[in-house]
Amino acid sequence: MSTQEQARQDGDTYGLQRNTPSSIRLNAQHYIWKDAVGGNLHSRIAVNNASTTRVADIGTGTGIWMHDMKREYPAIQIDGFDISLEQAPHPAWLPPDIRLHKLDVTKAIPDEFCEQFDIIHLRLFLAVVQDNDASPIIRNLISMLKPGGWLQWAEHPFQDLGDVRVEAPSPDVSSTAMQAYLDLAQAGSDKKWAWVPKLPRTFSSLGLIDVESSSPPSKPYTWLYSTQLIMGAVLEISYQILDNSTPESKGPVMRRIIEAACGDMRNGVYLTYSPLVVIGRKRL
Ligand SMILES: C[S@@+](CC[C@H](N)C(=O)[O-])C[C@H]1O[C@@H](n2cnc3c(N)ncnc32)[C@H](O)[C@@H]1O
């Protein structure tokens, strides 16, 4: 049994892969998203660069955000949490003030992590949030915050993939294959991500204050990179959760459609979307 099959049996239903290409995608994605949203944290969140400042990264993946934060604020302590630490560096190579913990953030948070953190960061949980409802996770994150602490959630702002646009460099360049990909992906998404645009309201309804959100318009020079990220993620999904039992099953069909869409991409046809960042603060 593969590690990921074992993880499924243990209740980890993550729909992406955790292999080396997947880790490379997450690392590239970090810098592309950082550029898109203007930094590791929203400008409203002030970080005290002191050893008493505790920051948590939830669903840390490869841990790339933590290491980048630590470069920016060398004195702080950072704890990375993930249901699987398969993509994270071996603890032997971490500095003492960066720690990793296996944690399922959908389950009750152990006492040792309650009210411990000044800042909690979470990014890209589309493949994690269940039943179109982020509230159980947000409640758990609030329990981890110190009074006055900040929560930042960065996400694809989709209700479904209809919120993504196809852009061609000129009307005579065909975008048929890219549009076919998007139509198919959208047909399967069924507004299951309607929780994303509701995040600011959910933050407020769960008691967070000073809630703000931003969705900086994406810059055309980034569209190629964003399209590559989506194509890479969908390729992983095609292996991880779609049916691959026959050449005509959903997985192989999706891969053929992705390959055709990548042909359009080489001609300058891109998918565009702007990331969403939502912040809120726990009352003192
Ligand atoms: C798309 S990756 C994003 C990784 C990282 N936040 C980043 O932006 O590079 C989502 C991460 O959430 C983790 N994850 C999935 N389900 C989780 C859960 N229930 N609790 C904690 N982490 C979870 C996955 O293992 C994966 O590392």
Q: Which residue ranges make up each domain of the chain?
A: 3-281
Q: How far apart are CA 181 and CA 168, in angstroms?
A: 15
Which among 32, 34, 68, 125 is the best mutation to test ligand 1's pocket, defined by most ligand atoms within 8 Å of the CB?
A: 125
Q: How far apart are CA 135 and CA 71, in angstroms?
A: 32
How many angstroms is it from 3 CA to the middle of ligand 1? 16
Contact call for residues 177 and 145 (beta carbons, < 8 A): no
Q: What is the structure's pLDDT at 203?
A: 98
Structure tokens, 284: 């003192």
Index of the ligand 1 atom closest to the CA of residue 104: 20
Q: How confident is the model at residue 76 (pLDDT cuts 50, 70, 90)?
A: very high
Q: What is the pLDDT of residues 123-153, one digit of tens each?
A: 999 989 999 999 999 999 999 999 999 999 9
Closest CA to 100 of 146, 53, 62: 62
Which among 19, 27, 122, 124 is the best mutation to test ligand 1's pocket, defined by most ligand atoms within 8 Å of the CB?
A: 124
How many angstroms is it from 248 CA to the middle of ligand 1? 31
Residue type present at position 175 = S
Q: How far apart are CA 178 and CA 223, in angstroms?
A: 13
Structure tokens, 277: 């960042």
How many angstroms is it from 234 CA to the middle of ligand 1? 16
Index of the ligand 1 atom closest to the CA of residue 84: 25
pLDDT over 90 (residue 12): no
Q: Where does 3-281 sit in CATH, by number?
A: 3.40.50.150
Q: What is the structure's pLDDT at 279?
A: 98
